[in-house]
Amino acid sequence: MKEINAKEITVNPFKLLNETWGVLAAGDENKATGMTVSWGAVGMFWEKPAVTVYIRPQRFTKTFIDDSERFSLSFLPDSMRKVSTSFGSLSGNDGVNKFDAAGAEKAFEDGVPYVDGADMVFICKKLISGEFDPARIYDPADDAANYPDKDYHTYYIAEIEKVLVK
């Protein structure tokens, strides 16, 4: 992997998160986990290249994100689609080591875990987070469609400190 400047990214951000998905990983060399994300945004925040991701409260990975200053987003090639799917369908709450179960190798950059074999990896440093306030969802139909269980997301806005590419 080689490092590039975040402003050199030429991938369509809508395809990146919504179609390619990202595998968000957090933890350390002793214990790490991950999950797929398809809701998010890439842009600028506080004059820094940034990514926003959303995590529901029941996700096992949320505790790792909350306990870590940094996390990664790995964007995998189509040949690794089964790996992405596994990270999204398995639950760490069941004691599953998602990296092992998905057949994925862990790699590390500055102590941050990511999925080895990714086409592109963002190494991210948390800047701010917050809880969705259901009273601020303007269209009740969006609330009903996306939160039938009232399990509102936490959002995390993070600086993209490094971009690694194949």
Question: Tell me, what DSSP letter sits at residue 10?
Answer: -
Is pLDDT larger for residue 127 or for residue 102? 127
Per-residue confidence (pLDDT) for residue 163, from 0 to 100: 97
11 pLDDT higher than 90: no
The token duo for 108 is: 């590390």
DSSP single-letter state for residue 18: I
Q: Is 9 exposed, middle or buried (0-12, 13-18, 19+ CB in 10 A)?
A: middle
- Model confidence pLDDT, tens digit, residues 143-158: 999 999 999 999 999 9
The token pair at 81 is: 């689609």
Q: How far apart are CA 15 and CA 34, in angstroms?
A: 20
pLDDT recorded at residue 17: 80
Give 82's pLDDT tier (boundaries 50, 70, 90).
Answer: confident
pLDDT tens, 87-98? 877 676 676 688
Mean pLDDT score of the chain, rounded to an integer?
Answer: 91
Best CA proximity match to 91, nearest among 18, 156, 36:
36
Q: pLDDT tens for residues 13-67?
A: 888 887 888 899 999 999 999 999 988 999 999 999 999 999 999 988 999 999 9
Q: What percent of the chain has pLDDT over 90?
A: 64
| Gap between the Cα atoms of 4 and 162, Å rounded | 7
Asked if residue 133 lies in contact with residue 24, where contact means CB atoms within 8 angstroms, the answer is no
Q: Output the pLDDT for position 93.
A: 67
CA distance 81 to 85: 6
Scanning the chain, the segments in alpha helix (DSSP H) are 13-15, 60-67, 81-89, 98-102, 140-146
